């Protein structure tokens, strides 16, 4: 009879000792291995060996520089990606996220991705700034009943359409059934 080995099978005191000997990065990696371990680590709140940190903000990047007890440094850098890093997100079915800025280029890329990728179901993106609003009517024509909604037919799909909504601080792309498009709305 074999029993499955797991860190969670250790007594709490042993787990606390193990966590006490791990560095910040190791604890963060361990948190990602399972929900139970993440919950345990969040409940225990092991002491961090990080003694200080520095944040640097630039026009196109943010740097996080933690310093640890053992005098080691680490550099974590976020760099602005072209098109908001959209290519790394299109494999998700559903997304809800906040962005500082949504560009017209990003909206057009998302529209094309939705038309090509049947797994993309609903993307809701809040934003603070956008250059797109004045160009949408030029590109897509008048919106439906001034509600800032447009509907796009999907090639080789007679059942579904892509609904695109644009508000003052959000956009929504959603794959919906063609028969729930409001009467009078055009499908582009």
Burial of 98 (0-12, 13-18, 19+ CB in 10 A): exposed
Contacts of 172 (CB under 8 A, 6+ apart): 122, 123, 124, 125, 163, 164, 165
100 and 138 part of one domain: yes
Q: For residue 154, which of 138, 173, 178 has the smallest C-alpha distance?
A: 178
129 and 164 part of one domain: yes
- Give the domain extent around 27: 1-48
118 and 39 part of one domain: no
4 and 53 part of one domain: no
pLDDT in tens, the chain (188 residues): 445 666 777 788 888 877 877 777 788 888 888 888 888 888 888 777 777 778 887 777 778 887 777 777 777 777 776 656 677 788 889 998 888 889 999 999 999 999 999 999 999 999 999 989 889 989 998 877 667 899 999 999 999 999 999 999 999 999 999 999 998 888 99
114 and 68 part of one domain: no
98 and 166 part of one domain: yes
Residue 175 lies in a domain: yes
Do 86 and 123 touch, CB atoms closer than 8 A? no
Residue 185 lies in a domain: no
What's residue 18's pLDDT?
79
Q: How many domains does the chain have?
A: 3
Alpha-carbon gap, residue 133 to 173, rounded angstroms: 15
pTM of the model: 0.59
Residue 53 lies in a domain: yes
CATH code at position 33: 1.20.1280
């Amino acid at each position: 009879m074999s029993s499955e080995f797991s860190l969670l099978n250790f007594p709490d005191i042993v787990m606390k000792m193990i966590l006490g000997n791990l560095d910040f990065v190791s604890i963060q990696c361990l948190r990602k291995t399972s929900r139970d371990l993440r919950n345990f680590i969040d409940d225990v709140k092991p002491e961090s060996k990080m003694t200080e940190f520095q944040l640097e903000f630039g026009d196109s990047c943010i740097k996080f520089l933690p310093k640890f007890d053992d005098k080691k440094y680490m550099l974590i850098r976020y760099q602005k990606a072209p098109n908001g890093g959209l290519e790394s997100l299109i494999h998700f079915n559903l997304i809800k996220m906040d962005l500082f800025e949504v560009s017209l280029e990003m909206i057009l890329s998302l529209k094309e991705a939705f038309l090509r990728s049947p797994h993309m179901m609903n993307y809701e993106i809040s934003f603070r700034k956008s250059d797109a609003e004045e160009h949408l009517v030029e590109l897509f024509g008048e919106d439906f009943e001034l509600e800032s909604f447009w509907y796009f037919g999907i090639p080789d799909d007679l059942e579904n359409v892509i609904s695109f909504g644009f508000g003052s601080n959000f956009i929504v792309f959603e794959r919906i059934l063609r028969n729930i498009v409001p009467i009078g709305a055009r499908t582009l």
